[in-house]
Structure 1
C-alpha cells in the first residue's frame, strides 16, 4: 500500500518524465507532433503520450496492482474514471495539463499527479517542468512548495477579501454562448479576472495565495484531484456547486475553490449563479 513517504518516489517519477519527455519538446514541436482530439483547442502531443507512458511504467513497476488513470489512456478506456471510486490504490495523471499553451510555446502548463485510495485523494503533486518547482501535499499534513534547488516552504491560500478586491476565474470554455456571456459579465464584479486554460497553473496560483478563487464546470479527475487536495491543505475550501465534496470518479456538477466558506458562498451566489 501507499505510505506518506512514498510521495517522494512518485515525485521522482514525475520529475524524471518531465525532464526526459516534456521539457525537451517545449518550443521544439513540429506540426506533425500535435494532434487534435475533439477540437482545435483539445490537443495531444508526443510529450503527453510519452511522459504518461514513462510515469505509468514506473508506477506499475513499484505498485503492480495499482490502477493508473491517465488522461490519454482514458481516451481509449473511459471506464477507468468510474473505477476510481472503489480502487484500493490509484494514480491519476495529467502528463501535460495545458497542452494548448504547451504547443503554443507558453510556459503555463504543468504535470498533475494524484494518489487515490478507497475513494479519497491522499496525495497530490503539481510539477512545473520549466522551472523544476513542485507543489506537494499529503492529506492531513499540509501543502508545500519545493523549489528545484530543494528548498521548501509551506504554502497558504489568500486571505478573504471583499468580492470587489478579489482576483479569480471561472472556466467557461465548455459552456454555451449564453452561459459564457453571463458568467463573464459577473466576473466584472471582481478586481480582475484571468484565464490561463490550465488547471495546474490555476490551482498553483490559488494554493499559493496569488489569486482568491477558481471555478470549473468540467470535472475530469486528472485536472482537479491533485489541485483540490493541495488547495485544501493550504487552508482553502473546494466544493461542488451544490455544496457537496468533490470525490474521485465524479465528472459533473462543477466545483469552486475559495479561501473560506463565506467567500465560497459569496462567489457562488454573485458569479456562478447570478443572472
Structure 2
C-alpha cells in the first residue's frame, strides 16, 4: 500500500491512486463479501431503520477494511461509510465540508445480497467540498467496474482489463423511455402522486441496488433514474459516472447535486433534452412533501 501519497489532493486522482483504490475494493470483496454470499446465517443479518433495510456482517467487515486502506492512503481525508454514518450522522456533515472525502457503500443492495440475489455491488466516491470528483462502482461477482473522475470519461473495465468508454442512451419520446424509480421508499402520499405520472413512460422498475441502476444507466440501458432518498453513498459515484458518460444529473428543482442535500428529488437522465422532458412529467413532485433521508 502506498505510504508516500499526500494527505490531501487538489487535482484529479492519479492513475496510480485509482489503481490502488480499485485494489482495496477488490481485496475487500474477495476477503469479506464473496465468502459470505449465500452463506449468511440469520444471526449475521440485522434490520436498521425498516424491516427491509438490512445490514450484514459483510457490510460491516468490508467497510472497516476499505476504510483502513483509505486512511493509510489519504491520512488527511474524511472517510464516511454507510454503516459508520448510521452510528454517527455527523459524519455526513463533516464529509460535505471536507476538502477531500471518501464515501463508501460496502455492499450496496444489501437486501438482494442477504437474500442470495446477485444484484449487489461496492460503491466508492471521492468528493471535494461535497461535489463528486471520482466514482467507482464494482461488481464483485463479475470482478468488473465502471469508473470516472472529473477529468476523464466514464469507462467500463472488465476482469481482464479491457476498457470501453460509456455513453448513456440517446433518449427519445417520453412514451419510449424507461427508467428506475424509488417510489416504494417515498411516503404514501407521494407514491399516490407519482404513480399516475409513471404511466407516461414505457417502463419503470427498481433493482433495489443503486450500484447496478447507475451502471445500467451509464451503459445506455435505461434512460433515467429518479430518487428521493439522498444518501450520498448511494448516489455520489453514480452521479459523476453518468455525467461523464454524457448524462445530466441534478436535483429536480434544477440545483446541482452535492452530498449535503438531504431532501428533494435527484433526477439522472441520458442527456439535457431527456432530463428536461422527464422533469416536466415529474414536475408535480416539486409541490409534494419532501422525502426524508
TM superposition score category, shorter chain reference: over 0.9
Checking the alignment, whether the CA contact within 8 Å between 2:131 and 2:257 is kept in structure 1 is no
Instruction: Find the residue that maps to 1:95 and give its secondary structure.
Output: strand
Partner of 2:131: 120
Distance 2:117 2:130 in 1: 34
Distance 1:249 1:134 in 2: 26
Match of 1:159 among 166, 170, 188: 170
Partner of 2:274: 263
1:148 aligns with 2:173: no
Checking the alignment, whether the CA contact within 8 Å between 1:4 and 1:138 is kept in structure 2 is no
Cα offset, 1:22, TM superposition:
0.8
Match of 1:4 among 11, 14, 31: 14
Instruction: Find the residue that maps to 1:85 and give its secondary structure.
Output: helix
Distance 1:250 1:60 in 2: 25
Q: After superposition, what is the alpha-carbon deviation per residue over 1:6-43, rounded to whole angstroms, capped at 9, x for unaligned?
A: 11111111111111111111111111110001111111
Distance 1:186 1:54 in 2: 43
User: What is the RMSD of the two structures over their aligned residues, measured on CA atoms?
Assistant: 1.4
TM-score, length of structure 2 as denominator length: 0.90
Distance 1:152 1:159 in 2: 21
Checking the alignment, whether the CA contact within 8 Å between 2:79 and 2:95 is kept in structure 1 is no
Distance 1:272 1:95 in 2: 33
TM-score, length of structure 1 as denominator length: 0.96
Q: After superposition, what is the alpha-carbon deviation per residue over 1:199-224, rounded to whole angstroms, capped at 9, x for unaligned?
A: 11110111110000001001011000
Partner of 2:113: 102
Match of 2:263 among 237, 252, 260: 252
Instruction: Find the residue that maps to 2:164 and give its secondary structure.
Output: strand
1:81 aligns with 2:92: yes
Q: After superposition, what is the alpha-carbon deviation per residue over 1:108-166, rounded to whole angstroms, capped at 9, x for unaligned?
A: 11111001123321110000001111001011211001111111111110002001111
Deviates more, 1:233-242 or 1:262-271: 262-271
Distance 1:160 1:43 in 2: 34
1:61 aligns with 2:79: no
Distance 1:177 1:56 in 2: 36
Distance 2:199 2:101 in 1: 40
Match of 2:25 among 6, 14, 32: 14
Match of 1:169 among 177, 180, 183: 180
Cα offset, 1:80, TM superposition:
0.8
Query: How many residues get paired?
Result: 275
Distance 1:67 1:272 in 2: 36
Partner of 2:5: none
Deviates more, 1:165-174 or 1:14-23: 165-174
